[in-house]
Amino acid sequence: MSDSIKFGVVGFSKNQFDKKAAYQILEGLFLQIKAKHSKRIVEIVSGYTNSGVPKIAYELAEKFGFKTVGFSAKQALKVKSGLFPVNEVIMHGEYFGDESEAFVNYIDGLIRVGGGPQSRKECEMFKALHATNSLVSRIKEFEIDWYGEKPIQNVNVVIKGLRLVEDFITKETQQALIDQIDQGVWLSELKRRVQHYGYKYDYRARAINESMKVAPLPDWVNPIIEKMLVGGVFPTAPDQMIINEYQPGQGIAAHVDCVPCFGEQIISLSLGSTAVMEFKGLKTNQKITKLLTPGSLLVMEGDARYNWQHGIPPRKSDLINGKRKQRSRRLSLTFRKVILG
């Protein structure tokens, strides 16, 4: 028997949950651990942070004389909530989720108190790892009230008027478009670089008028417009195009495109990197995500156009099907029909 035993604790990492319930659950379990393993070194292993369930676990661990171990990816060093002064720190990987497999292999038992997708995924990984053993004493899972925003779930949520056309253009066409775009003039008025064609949109005033007319849409985009018209995406050709460049870590705040400024269809063509777009219902507060792959065409009209916000979180990677995918440079071409007052 080893001189030490390691218990992982996972759960909500932010503070918008029933802390009293979490404290009582962990205190009761730690009492049992203390009695059962009084002659062993007990390690409490959790996320390297100074908030949420990990903080409660560390505070109780100190009370019971247990060793505290912070186990996280390097991204934890950038979190504003700070870092609990644990006895030992173990870093594995760059981004949250990279450390999950190593964490699960490091611990002997696991306690989950609430938590989101990563906590639940780590529980499933732990169960799979110990499938041949009795799990009764190895893993404990508890649900507690969460007071913050609910995790984004796509289950049974359908947005009317939202279409995503995969592989709308080929890889060769994508690269040809990128080459043409990079010959244009980039503006740096925003945090990201942009190009305006047809009309320049005033982001701050959220307005557009005849005086904002700029160079017409370039000839090289005509085949794309023709394909959209043939496919019935636009009833008539768009007269405005904005090209946005997103470097890793850049995004765009959740918004509804200016209603008095633009027509009923908002169309976006993705080039370069993949990215996850988030949608939030203005009337329902429901949330879903869509994975925008290179060459895909996103169509928003009707309910999707007017009653749902869309945006891209500013981060360097996305969690896609349980795996962390790094972003690279992404370009989006947004096509609209201008409404002049």
Predicted confidence band of residue 325 (pLDDT cuts 50, 70, 90): confident
- Provide mean pLDDT across the span 303-323: 90
Q: Is residue 148 part of a domain?
A: no
Q: Is residue 174 part of a domain?
A: yes
Q: Which of 142, 172, 191 is the last residue of a domain?
A: 142
The answer to whether residue 149 scores a pLDDT higher than 90 is: no
- 116 with 25, same domain: the answer is yes
pTM across the whole model? 0.59
Question: What's the CATH number where 280 sits?
Answer: 2.60.120.590
Name the average pLDDT for the chain.
90
Q: Is residue 39 part of a domain?
A: yes
The residues, ordered by sequence, that sit 6+ positions from 282 with a Cβ below 8 Å of its Cβ are 256, 307, 308, 309
Q: How far apart are CA 141 and CA 123, in angstroms?
A: 9
- 326 with 180, same domain: the answer is yes
Q: Which domain holds residue 322?
A: 162-336
Q: Which of 108, 142, 176 is the last residue of a domain?
A: 142
Q: Which of 88, 110, 142 is the last residue of a domain?
A: 142
The string of pLDDT tens digits covering residues 75-111 is: 999 888 899 999 999 999 988 889 999 999 999 999 9
- 129 with 213, same domain: the answer is no
The answer to whether residue 243 scores a pLDDT higher than 80 is: yes
- 9 with 103, same domain: the answer is yes
pLDDT score at 130: 86
- 8 with 136, same domain: the answer is yes
- 178 with 323, same domain: the answer is yes
Question: What's the CATH number where 47 sits?
Answer: 3.40.50.450
- 127 with 253, same domain: the answer is no
- 249 with 292, same domain: the answer is yes
pLDDT score at 110: 96
User: Domain total for the chain?
Assistant: 2
- 107 with 237, same domain: the answer is no
- Provide mean pLDDT across the span 182-204: 88
The string of pLDDT tens digits covering residues 125-141 is: 999 998 777 766 789 99
Q: Is residue 26 part of a domain?
A: yes
- Provide mean pLDDT across the span 119-123: 91
Q: Is residue 175 part of a domain?
A: yes
- Residue 304: half-sphere exposure toward Cβ, Cα within 13 Å: 21
Q: Is residue 235 part of a domain?
A: yes
Predicted confidence band of residue 153 (pLDDT cuts 50, 70, 90): low
The string of pLDDT tens digits covering residues 156-184 is: 578 999 999 999 999 999 999 999 999 99
